[in-house]
Amino acid sequence: MTSQIEKNKIVMKSKSNKEYYFDMKILSSISNFIENIIEDNDDLNIPMNCFTNKDLDLLSEYILFIKNSQYDFKQKNNTVNYYYNFHNYKNNVIIRSYLEILSKENIKKFFEISRYLDINFLQEEIIRYNIQNIIKSKKNKINELNTLIYHAKENLKTIEKDKEEFKSENKLEGYNSGDEDSEDEDDQDEEDEEEEDNSEQYESVVEFEKELSTFNNNIKDSKDRVLKEYINVMKLYSKKSKFLTDLLENKELELNNINNELVNEINDYVTDSQNKFYIGNAYCCIDCLDLSFITDIKDNIDEVNNIIQKCYQCQENISNSIEMINHDINHVLIKKGFIPESNDDKEAYEDSEMENINNMIDIKNNIINNNYSDESEILLKKCIDCNFKSKEFLECGKTDDFGYSLEKLCCQETFCEEHFGTNKVRCSHKNCNYIIDVCEECYPVNRPDRYYSYSSECSDLFCNYCDELFCKYHMKEEFCRNHAYYDRD
């Protein structure tokens, strides 16, 4: 007769027939495979012919570790039902702590055990852990390249600014080194026409002209040297600009290549894992370099919609696609066994938005091909936080530093930075730093075509003399500060 202790134990035999005893209640609570065996069989001796003693030692150590770590064995092990609390559930931390003490080779073996025993949650945590290690292996290089690219771009902006300031402060472009020669020749012609009857006066004029010619030649030589230095400075600016442009192009290409390598390596690993919750669902955010899931949309749908509503273009291109993707995610999860809150929800997601949606791969392919909307593919480049929660918004023509008629020329619509563009209009007064952010559709800001001289239309923005745009601090009574006090006839 089998003892009470034996009844509460599951016996596993390694390929060398060594026996391992496991607590039935604990193992069946985490393993679908064991749970099914207990329901269908009286014999609880399980041959593990594919696994060595070391492999089963790993399993035995793991059971002991989680048992001593306050692991919540009551949590349902069908991962599709608590997948959305995946990042917060305390069992994640416990599993990760165990993985941290294993070697790479042992983690690989341990994953095969978890897959064989159908320990879903453990599989997913191992996959997550390994993907994060893949990301970590390239993260330092990617961060280094991003920093280098940022500094190169900032230096290019500085060079262009410095170059323009240098040009404006040194107006030498029109100087011709031969100009002084022509003036000397004119003076010599006038001298030849003078009478020579007064030799004393003639000699003094000659000396005078000699001295004057010396001055002119010195001035010309100095100007030539200055012009040569000016040209050298401009060449140095161009040389530095070309160096940074080439560096930027090479580093951006290098960054793009390493990002693609990272994405492909993660995709290959996920495919090899054969895990139904990762395949077609997991991806790496290229901004924060963290593991993300398409199914994150489900938990963040309301917040994402609120953010999207702030951008006119996002409403047009993304809002509807987010709703459709969320619908198809729920459709797939219900197919996989997800238990919705009510039967009404189950009926609502019975049909998919796109045709032939059977799994997350189908959803991912439709996103990649922009079938949900023209811009749905952006969802696979960044995580929810980087795509939406960190968005910054600009209002076209939003400023108190320019005249009120700006509202006639700018749409006043709000856009996210990606859809707004980088167009800026600056006050035309020298050294004025007031600018207007203008969307792609409203740029450039021009006076209406029906403007006629001395018209009052938009005269708080455009000078009625030079027709240039100015901030309100450099406009006075329909004229800019440059032309407000001059004869304008």
pLDDT tens digits for 224-270?
888 888 889 889 999 999 999 999 999 999 999 999 999 999 999 99
Confidence of residue 41 (pLDDT cuts 50, 70, 90): confident
What's the mean pLDDT in 396-420? 90
Rounded to whole angstroms, how far apart are CA atoms 204 and 214?
15
> What is residue 469's three-state secondary structure?
strand
> Which of 331-335, 361-365, 391-395, 447-451 has the weakest average pLDDT?
447-451
Q: Is 273 exposed, middle or buried (0-12, 13-18, 19+ CB in 10 A)?
A: buried
SS3 state of residue 179: helix
Task: Please count the structural domains in the chain.
Answer: 4
Mean pLDDT of 138-159: 93
Asked whether the predicted pLDDT for residue 454 surpasses 60, the reply is no
Residue 88 has what pLDDT? 42
Do residues 164 and 243 share a domain?
yes
127 falls within a domain: no
444 and 479 fall within a common domain: yes
Residue 312 has a pLDDT of 80
Output 173 or 12, whichever has higher pLDDT: 12
Residue 62's CATH number: 3.30.710.10
Q: What is the pLDDT of residue 204?
A: 63
- Choosing from 254, 273, 292, the residue where a domain stops is 273
Is a pLDDT exceeding 50 seen at residue 1?
Answer: no
Task: Specify the pLDDT at position 268.
Answer: 94
Considering the domain architecture, whether residues 258 and 140 belong to the same structural domain is answered as yes
Which pair of tokens denotes residue 343? 């039967």
The reply to whether 158 and 230 lie within a common domain is yes
Report residue 448's pLDDT band, with 50, 70 and 90 as the boundaries.
Answer: confident
Average of per-residue pLDDT values in the chain: 83
Percent of the chain residues topping a pLDDT of 70: 85
Domain that holds residue 448: 399-408+422-489
**Residue 413 within a domain:** no
Lowest mean pLDDT among 17-31, 231-245, 472-486: 472-486
Lowest mean pLDDT among 87-91, 119-123, 195-199: 195-199
pLDDT tens string 61-108: 999 999 998 888 876 555 554 444 444 468 888 999 999 999 999 999
Note whether residue 125 is domain-resident: no
Alpha-carbon distance values, 51 to 33, 109, 449, 474 (Å): 16, 9, 82, 82
278 in any annotated domain: no
Q: Do 382 and 255 share a structural domain?
A: no
Q: Residue 10 region, left (φ>0) first, then alpha (ψ -120 to 50), else beta?
A: beta
Q: What whole-number distance in Å separates Cα of residue 468 and Cα of residue 462?
A: 5
pLDDT of residue 357 exceeding 60, the answer is yes
- pLDDT of 457 over the 90 cut: no
Burial class (CB in 10 A: 0-12, 13-18, 19+), 120: buried
pLDDT of residue 22: 94
Q: Do 427 and 384 sit in the same domain of this protein? A: no
Would you say residue 156 lies in a domain? yes
Decide if 344 is inside a domain. yes
Minimum mean pLDDT among 181-195, 341-355, 357-371, 399-413: which range?
Answer: 181-195
Residues 356 and 461 in one domain: no
Determine which of 21-25, 185-189, 394-398, 466-470 has the lowest per-residue pLDDT on average: 185-189
Average pLDDT in the 417-421 region? 87
Same domain flag for 374 and 260: no
- For residues 262 and 289, membership in a common domain is answered with no
Position 259 in a domain: yes
Q: What is the pLDDT of residue 137?
A: 94
Residue 426 shares a structural domain with residue 371:
no
Is 416 among the domain residues? no
Task: Give 155's strand partners.
Answer: none
Do residues 146 and 268 both lie within one domain? Answer: yes
- 205 pLDDT band (50/70/90 cuts)? low
Final residue of a structural domain among 212, 240, 273 = 273
Note whether 146 and 111 are same-domain residues. Answer: no
**Which of these, 406, 388, 377, 239, lies nearest to 307 by C-alpha position?**
388
Nearest to 406 by CA among 457, 451, 454: 457
State mean pLDDT over 321-329: 91
Average pLDDT over residues 5-31: 87
Specify the higher pLDDT residue, 227 or 454: 227
